[in-house]
Chains A and B, each alone.
Chain A
Amino acid sequence: MKLNRRQFTLGSTSLLLSGLLPLTVKSSTIDNKKNLVVIMLRGAMDGLTAVPYIHDNTLEKVRPDIFVKKLFKLNSDFSLHPKLSGFHNLWKKDQATIIHATNIPYTGRSHFDGQNLMESGGVIPYKTKTGWLGKGIDVAGLDGLSMSLPMPLLLRGKRNQDNFYPSKFSMPSRNLIDILKNHYADEPLLKKSFDKLTSRPLSMTSAPNSKNIKTLARIAGTELKKEYGPRVAVFEIFGFDTHAAQGGADGEHGQKLKILDETFGVLKKQLGKTFDNTLILTLTEFGRTIVQNSGYGTEHGYGTAVLLGGGLLKKSQVFTDWPGIKKKELFEGRDLNSTLDARSIYCSAMSTCFNTDFKLMNKHVFPDKTLINLSNKIFKS
């Protein structure tokens, strides 16, 4: 594993991998191994910058200084930001889908509450202490490994998942390890973590650092490609909170979309044929206001877009029940509305990738049992 600690702490991008222990996996699962890659876009990704509505000039009017003009046209209603050129290539091959005007059912506009719910899948901030992906991994009976220093909420399940991040440190003597094992016996959390630590495979020793997102995506691709390797990878891209200098094509939001696009591109290249059995899914806590502010940025909003890539998609499409962006059609007169609970997408994605019944996943992972199964509409059967 070549992962870079700096990428994580600097807050630009990080990679987490959820692994699979071969012994816990049925052979049928391995025969049909499907990968799920989740990319968390922290700071509130603006769906209308990534995938602008171009049916009329409403958006251009309210965003005179940040509306991007040279776009990839997707259909008569929507275009794609020019920094998403790799994603556009996937689109041309029927391997890209955009689900627009969607969000988790949260309208409070706080990053912290929003990100908490985006990861937990709950409806009340901080109430749920586990993540929807961690719970989904539990339901599917998989073991997880997170490639990061702090354990992300998204991957926390009932069972304490392992985590790993390369370093040049080494363990003390066997004697001290045994003594500490006994010593931690009456501290449940400490004991659990130490037991996980001391039962690590040899491969998790030291590893050299690497510094950029492309390397991280390459490593993820290599691992996901392995028959007995991990089947879930999670990336984080920070910095979508563009209250100022959001863009144009080369603005801050565009730069972040470019990182996202590179992640898609490297994964596609590295996965090779395995890309056909892979789904890449973006998450963000909410969208941004329709109108630009005086700093040429946008404020916290509500509805946004989810970008999906990979061979598990049925076809390229913008899937939406479009609510409109005229003043009266906006949420609270300012934000793109959400017409689809994004958790329906998450649940359908896990159901498809983990070969698990949608209803079972819904019941055990999300508190709302009325989510819609989108599998037939979005994914290959």
Chain B
Amino acid sequence: MNKSFFRKVGFGLSVNEKVPENPLDWAIDQISIIPELNWKGPIYSLEEMMNYHAEYNYTDRRVLRQSFKNSRKEYKRAKKLLKYKTGHYYFEPLWMSIRQNEAINGNSPVFHRFLHFWGNHFAIQKKNSMYSYDVGPYHREVITPSMLKNIEDLVYNVTISWAMIHNLDNSKSIGPNSPRAFKNMDRGKSANLNENHGRELLELHTVSPSAGYDQEDVINMSKVMSGWMHRIPKMSSKIHKKEENVPVRFIEEYHDSGPFKILGKKYIESFGTKAAKSMLRKVIKDLVRHPSCIEFISHKLCNHFVTQNPSSEIVNPVINAWKKSEGDLKSIHTEVIKQAYKYSSLRKFQQPETWFIQFIKMGGIKYFPNNFDYDFKTMISREKDQIRRICRNLGQLPFRPLQPNGWSDYEEDWLSPELLFRRIGVLNKIKDKGKFKHIDNEYLNEILKRNFDNSKEIISFLKNISNDETIIALFSSKWMLKT
């Protein structure tokens, strides 16, 4: 039956779920619609987050630093209260709870596995405090709605999103051949491109270095992107208080008028804002059709969902689906799912968060706090912060990758003595808290029946283990660590 498939493309089955008669239909149905959120707790939009972050930034930079410039102690105290008031410690645990709730209790775990993949592919680094405010809404409002569209839409929407523009400094970029650059020149000021975003769009988000682009391509890509920014408006003090926390827009004054040449193709911009604005879209359209992009991302998808270092036999059908559908994400995801099903006997080491969500879901562990309301006056409770702390202890905070290329998907990067110990240690600690008490033999059999083809082998493995350590053994087993 290939029951490992439920873990390869999802998070396993809980004992409350029936084993789907047709696993492929089960999975493909889930990536065919944007699912409603199961989460019943508080939720905030990106716009609200910008306001919270603006208040935090403005008050800290313009008010507290001035008011308490003679007393570091007072300043620290005031800043702590400001952090409470603006939800500084609250939002990341909230976003993680929503994310993991959808994986565990939602109706579309497969959709959410793909969302986790794309969130990591288009990673937002912990660069400054904003990540803890914006990553949740960025996943929900930018990536999620793009997941049934074309890869071109996904890349474009991510590229001009507040989170990515901010993360990769595009607002700092001025096209050398732009009205702003000429103005600056007249005033004796410099005006330079910021290449960060242009480079990552090529290197990490689309074609990868295998496309053989050079520095000129990076510069040209940055020129195309110039003008997309969250510029601080100066018209009124009320808006000014928002500082950089304003929506991204295209400001032609900063845009380089070209011509551009990227990966050998020339792009000549016709006159007018509309043409200038649409240039980025044109280039992204070509990038996602470039063979290196198709191969790079297809390989990455198979490496994540099927097996580490997948053969061309596994990757080629995904490449073909991409080409045939001209980048339709549903078609691409469907083919990845088919490959995961076909090759479900090939095992893949699971990233810590994925493995942990599977443990919670399959084990029916009571995990989420009773509510997530917050008074914005005090430190959040340990209970609400628990999910974040567990992931931190497992070595993977999903919203804080150390590099812009996201968390690694390779066994070598996750299999070290300490990381292995953390998984076993976390299970041991949860056991000590008495959270396995509901799992008797009957319950265990229900877990095995739904999620494993080799139940007999597992029962034989578990037979010499004391009852209170059975769950630790099961979830530390090679069948769970490598699915």
User: Which residues of A come within 8 Å of B, CB atoms?
Assistant: 5-6, 9-11, 108-113, 115, 125, 129, 146, 148-151, 162-165, 167-173, 175-176, 179-180, 183-184, 186-187, 189-190, 193-194, 196-197, 200, 238, 241, 243-244, 291-295, 297, 299-300, 332
Contacts and interface: CB of A to CB of B under 8 A. Distances in A.
Please report whether the interface of chain B is mostly helix, strand, loop or mixed according to DSSP.
Answer: helix
B481 interface: yes
A78 to B, nearest CB: 25
B282 to A, nearest CB: 24
Contacts of A149: 395, 416, 418-419, 422
Given A172-B428, A193-B417, A295-B172, 18 more contacts: A6-B392, A9-B392, A109-B218, A110-B209, A112-B203, A151-B416, A171-B421, A175-B464, A184-B478, A190-B481, A190-B482, A197-B417, A197-B421, A200-B417, A243-B194, A291-B192, A295-B194, A299-B194
Contact of B425 (A109, A150, A169, A187): A169
Interface stretch (B52-60, B64-72, B468-476): B468-476
CB-based closest 5 A-B pairs = A169-B425, A295-B172, A197-B417, A293-B192, A149-B395
A11 B400 contact: yes
B413 interface: yes
Please report whether the interface of chain A is mostly helix, strand, loop or mixed according to DSSP.
Answer: loop
B416 A163 contact: yes
B134 interface: no
23 contacts: A5-B392, A9-B392, A9-B397, A108-B215, A109-B218, A110-B203, A149-B418, A150-B416, A167-B422, A167-B425, A169-B421, A176-B466, A176-B469, A179-B464, A180-B473, A180-B476, A180-B477, A200-B417, A292-B190, A293-B172, A294-B189, A299-B194, A300-B199
A167 B426 CA distance: 10
B445 interface: no
A115 to B, nearest CB: 8
Interface residues of B, number: 58
A243 B478 contact: no
B482 A5 contact: no
A169 B393 contact: yes
Most buried by A among B126, B395, B416: B416
Nearest to A299: B195
A285 to B, nearest CB: 12
Interface of B: 126, 169, 172, 174, 184, 189-196, 199, 203-204, 209, 215, 218, 392-393, 395, 397, 400, 402-405, 411-422, 424-429, 461, 464-466, 469, 472-473, 476-478, 481-482
A125 B194 CA distance: 23
Contact of A164 (B196, B209, B417): B417
Contacts of B174: 294
Nearest to B180: A294
Contacts of B395: 9, 149-150
A62 to B, nearest CB: 8
Given A11-B126, A171-B428, A291-B192, A163 B172 contact: no
A161 B347 CA distance: 25
Contact of B465 (A165, A176, A197, A299): A176
Contacts of A184: 478
Most buried by B among A10, A110, A162, A291: A110
A11 B127 CA distance: 9
A175 B425 contact: no
Most buried by B among A168, A184, A193, A332: A193
A172 B199 contact: no
A112 B404 contact: yes
B465 to A, nearest CB: 6
A328 B90 CA distance: 52
B428 A187 contact: no
Contact of B424 (A111, A171, A179, A241): A171
Contact of A183 (B184, B203, B461): B461
Contacts of B191: 294
B249 to A, nearest CB: 18
B477 to A, nearest CB: 6
B215 A169 contact: no
A293 B190 contact: yes
Contacts of B126: 10-11
Contact of B466 (A173, A293, A332): A173
A276 to B, nearest CB: 33
A343 B342 CA distance: 46
Contacts of B425: 167, 169-171
Most buried by A among B395, B400, B477, B481: B395
Contacts of B473: 176, 179-180
Nearest to A197: B417
